[in-house]
């Protein structure tokens, strides 16, 4: 039996990315085989799908950094045929065959069972972006910063991480300031729970080492000048959770926020995140994320449209979440 997948290959001329037919014998080692029903397109996926990034670290490689589906067979003690599961990270789509495939074989230690009553499509409406947002919220709370200390800023607000972060933070009682370059998305962001919208241009250019104290916390998926300016405007004792690099990998800032205001920069890694905080993030999502709101921020596309969506997300044309219907 053959199945479809999106695979990256490398030739002397560079990377090629496209649909291929594969057989189960082509899959990599693992103790659980999953019939993939849904995936999604994160910013990282867009980079990989472009064929111009360093995201794939081996070739050939099936792309897609997460998936949800149904276990077909398992020798892992934690999973049995028929279980509905999801997977984010652990090298999926980077070093291990990923989620843009009708079949996947992975280590059971990487899998998470779907939250009760959730569907695979809803799990991928959250996806790695939403799961990362939940890790950011948990990190801010673990640092002891609360809504009573001031508002929270969310950069890249109309994207996947930003959308879910706004919804979770608003549910937790925060006054959310949403930073976006798309003024047309103001109503969308307010419906998610944002109280104030600011233009990303106010953060994306070189700024002062220290600015006016505006927020007690931040969730940043942009990096570069944006992250430096968010830090410079964070209140005394505040924290910023950094989880992305849509604006660049550099951090052209100053030590001033750290040594003069006691600001903390919290690094958020969703790929190799240990299972306990991973499970805590999904439990928080299942508890606090309004599924009707999640549906409103999500659109579903067929597998055949994946490459097209990858280009759109890099161009900043994707709002919220996109679910890819695989099976």
- Let me know whether 263 and 146 are in one domain: yes
- Let me know whether 242 and 135 are in one domain: yes
The tokens of 98 are what?
A: 């990923």
**Which helix (H) or strand (E) segment is 180 a member of?**
strand 176-180
Among the three residues 267, 288, 311, which one is the final residue of a domain in this structure? 267
**Successive 10-residue mean pLDDT values, the chain, 327 residues:** 96 94 97 98 96 95 98 98 97 98 98 97 97 98 98 97 97 98 95 98 97 98 98 98 96 98 98 97 97 96 98 94 95
- Let me know whether 159 and 261 are in one domain: yes
- Let me know whether 157 and 247 are in one domain: yes
Residue 292 lies in a domain: no
pTM strictly above 0.85: yes
Report yes or no: 243 and 62 within 8 Å, Cβ to Cβ.
no
User: Residue holding tokens 């999640």?
Assistant: 294
Residue 120 lies in a domain: no
Residue 121 lies in a domain: no
Report yes or no: 245 and 223 within 8 Å, Cβ to Cβ.
yes
pLDDT score for 46: 96
- Let me know whether 224 and 155 are in one domain: yes
Kind of pairing between the strands at 215-220 and 234-242: parallel
- Let me know whether 29 and 104 are in one domain: yes
**Which helix (H) or strand (E) segment is 103 a member of?**
strand 103-106
- Let me know whether 11 and 60 are in one domain: yes
A 10 A CB-CB count for 264 gives 20
pLDDT score for 111: 98
- Let me know whether 256 and 169 are in one domain: yes
**Which helix (H) or strand (E) segment is 260 a member of?**
helix 256-260
Print the domain residue range for 78: 2-114+297-325
Q: Which residues contact 282 (CB under 8 A, 6 or more apart)?
A: 86, 112, 115, 131, 134
Residue 132 lies in a domain: yes
Name the burial class of residue 275, with classes exposed (0-12), middle (13-18) and buried (19+) by CB atoms within 10 angstroms of its CB: exposed
- Let me know whether 138 and 250 are in one domain: yes
* Backbone φ, ψ for residue 172 (5° rounding): -85, 0
CATH number at residue 223: 3.40.50.720
pLDDT score for 1: 84
Residue 286 lies in a domain: no
- Let me know whether 142 and 73 are in one domain: no
Kind of pairing between the strands at 264-267 and 234-242: parallel
CATH number at residue 66: 3.90.180.10
Residue 272 lies in a domain: no
* Backbone φ, ψ for residue 134 (5° rounding): -65, -40
How many folded domains does the chain comprise?
Answer: 2
Residue 237 lies in a domain: yes
Residue 247 Cα distances to 9, 28, 205, 226, 227, angstroms: 27, 34, 11, 8, 9
- Let me know whether 157 and 249 are in one domain: yes
Residue 201 lies in a domain: yes
pLDDT score for 327: 82
Residue 151 Cα distances to 101, 189, 196, 233, 299, angstroms: 41, 16, 10, 12, 30
User: Residue holding tokens 């990599």?
Assistant: 28
């Amino acid at each position: 039996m053959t199945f479809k997948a999106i695979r990256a290959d490398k030739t002397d001329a560079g990377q090629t990315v496209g649909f291929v037919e594969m057989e189960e014998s082509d899959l990599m080692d693992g103790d659980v085989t999953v019939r993939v029903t849904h995936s999604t397109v994160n910013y990282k996926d867009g980079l990989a799908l472009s064929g111009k990034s360093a995201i794939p670290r081996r070739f050939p490689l099936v792309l897609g950094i997460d998936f949800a589906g149904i276990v077909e067979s398992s020798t892992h003690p934690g999973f049995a045929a028929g279980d509905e599961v999801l997977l984010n990270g652990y090298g999926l789509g980077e070093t291990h065959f990923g989620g843009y495939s009708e079949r996947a074989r992975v280590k059971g230690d990487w899998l998470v069972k779907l939250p009760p009553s959730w569907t695979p499509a809803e799990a991928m409406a959250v996806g790695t972006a939403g799961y990362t947002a939940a890790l950011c919220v948990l990190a801010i709370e673990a640092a002891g910063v609360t809504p009573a200390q001031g508002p929270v800023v969310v950069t890249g607000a109309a994207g996947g991480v930003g959308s879910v972060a706004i919804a979770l933070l608003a549910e937790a009682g925060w006054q959310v300031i949403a930073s976006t370059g798309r003024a047309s998305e103001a109503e969308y962001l307010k419906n998610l729970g944002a109280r104030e919208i600011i233009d990303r241009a106010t953060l994306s250019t070189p700024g002062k080492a220290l600015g006016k104290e505006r927020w007690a916390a931040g969730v940043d998926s942009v990096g570069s000048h944006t992250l430096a300016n968010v830090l410079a405007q964070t209140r005394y004792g505040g924290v910023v959770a950094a989880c992305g690099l849509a604006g660049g990998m550099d951090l052209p800032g100053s030590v001033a926020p750290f040594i003069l205001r006691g600001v903390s920069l919290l690094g958020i890694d969703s790929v190799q995140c240990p299972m306990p905080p991973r499970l805590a993030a999904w439990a928080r999502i299942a508890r606090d994320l309004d599924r009707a709101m999640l549906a409103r921020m999500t659109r579903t596309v067929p597998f055949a449209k994946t490459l097209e969506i990858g280009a759109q997300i890099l161009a900043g044309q994707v709002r919220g979440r996109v679910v890819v219907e695989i099976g």
